[in-house]
């Protein structure tokens, strides 16, 4: 896998940032989480006057061989059908990107359908879906490297246009299954606590999904008795998920804010942070959804989400919904008056 040179943000400005926040004309600490967000954004950008200019959203699509095992309520053709729908502006992700001014890039990383001639879809296809990880590795090392490089290059394209904040979303039927296994193996949380309803399977479907993932885990440990994080990512991940890891790591390397969406993207953030722990300082965890285990995964990372709205659409929609809070934090530190300029007595 390509090397990433990621460092924690320099903390040297933290005292000045805190002083600026505390001198805004409000009771000390009265804007709560917004003050924490302002501190994080300022440290990431190394400035007292941060910006969220030219926000970009990467929507990555890919299919999964494990879908053939009946672990999802939705059939795999929904992946390519939705990808085309996104180009027509009809998805949830389109609506939220329009609402909040994000540039949307729709990228085929591994969809099991020929989308190369569809206007509005960026063709970065590695393969038409991963292999069935119940029986074999989802992808080869070369394919994993290509997915990582694809995500990194997409972020470079965003930053070339002056982007200050990157959001990543996914479209891939059955991708809660690899996410559950990543969570289980990277957090050492019992598999039963990691497996949920995904797109809406019933209790019998959840039991079947658990059985399939248990069999995949058994095969994996027979082949990798002492697995590395890279092994875990390669064995179970989707191309869209591994590209998301590459995007997150490149954004962190280039000191750019990362908005993290729901269960799938939190699993990608988890894998990215297991590879490079410093990357987490650049991440804002935006939403905790209803998928079983999502809260436990966030807790394992020490991450507190901004929203809990019960969303489980994916596509990055939870992160986009949370963006106005990040915007409010930036507006607070840039636009609120301080006690001196407002001629208000500072009483603390």
Nearest to 245 by CA among 44, 62, 8: 62
Rounded to 10 degrees, the C-alpha dihedral 221/227/231/237 comes to: 60
Q: Which two tokens stand for residue 199?
A: 């797109």
DSSP 338: B
Active-site residue, from 143, 291, 315, 335 = 315
For the beta carbon of residue 180, count every other beta carbon within 10 angstroms.
Answer: 29
| Residues 215/134, Cβ–Cβ less than 8 Å | yes
**Phi, psi for 283 (deg, rounded to 5):** -100, 135
Q: The dihedral of CA 257, 259, 264, 270: what is its sign? A: positive
Residue with tokens 């090392």: 141
Q: Which two tokens stand for residue 106?
A: 């729709």
Which H/E stretch holds residue 324? helix 317-335
Is 222 annotated in the active site?
no
For the beta carbon of residue 184, count every other beta carbon within 10 angstroms.
Answer: 23
What distance, in Å, lies between the first and last C-alpha atoms of the chain? 52
Residues acting as catalytic residues:
315
């Amino acid at each position: 896998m390509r090397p990433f040179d990621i460092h924690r943000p320099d903390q040297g400005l933290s005292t000045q940032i805190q002083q600026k926040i505390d001198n805004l004309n409000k009771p000390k600490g009265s804007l709560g989480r917004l003050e924490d967000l302002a501190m994080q954004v300022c440290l990431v950008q190394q400035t007292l006057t941060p910006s969220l200019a030219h926000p970009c959203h990467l929507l990555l699509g890919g299919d999964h061989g494990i879908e053939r095992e009946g672990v999802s309520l939705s059939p795999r053709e929904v992946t390519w059908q939705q990808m085309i729908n996104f180009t027509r502006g009809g998805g949830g992700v389109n609506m939220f990107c329009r609402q909040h001014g994000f540039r949307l890039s729709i990228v085929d990383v591994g969809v099991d359908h020929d989308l190369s001639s569809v206007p509005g879809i960026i063709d970065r296809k590695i393969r038409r879906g991963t292999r069935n990880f119940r029986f074999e590795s989802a992808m080869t090392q070369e394919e994993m490297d290509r997915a990582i490089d694809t995500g990194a290059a997409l972020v470079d394209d965003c930053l070339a246009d002056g982007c200050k904040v990157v959001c990543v979303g996914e479209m891939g039927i059955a991708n809660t299954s690899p996410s559950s296994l990543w969570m289980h193996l990277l957090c050492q949380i019992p598999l039963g606590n990691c497996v949920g309803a995904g797109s809406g399977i019933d209790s019998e479907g959840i039991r079947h999904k658990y059985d399939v993932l248990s069999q995949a885990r058994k095969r994996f440990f027979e082949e990798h008795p002492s697995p590395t994080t890279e092994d875990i990512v390669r064995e179970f991940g989707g191309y869209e998920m591994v590209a998301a890891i590459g995007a997150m790591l490149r954004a962190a390397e280039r000191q750019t804010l990362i908005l993290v969406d729901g269960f799938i993207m939190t699993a990608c953030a988890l894998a990215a942070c297991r590879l490079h722990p410093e990357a987490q300082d650049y991440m804002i965890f935006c939403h905790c959804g209803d998928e079983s285990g999502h809260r436990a995964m966030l807790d394992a990372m020490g991450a507190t989400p901004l929203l809990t709205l019960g969303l489980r659409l994916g596509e990055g929609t939870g992160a986009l919904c949370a963006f106005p809070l990040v915007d409010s934090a930036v507006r607070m530190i840039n636009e609120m008056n301080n006690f001196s300029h407002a001629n208000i007595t500072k009483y603390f």
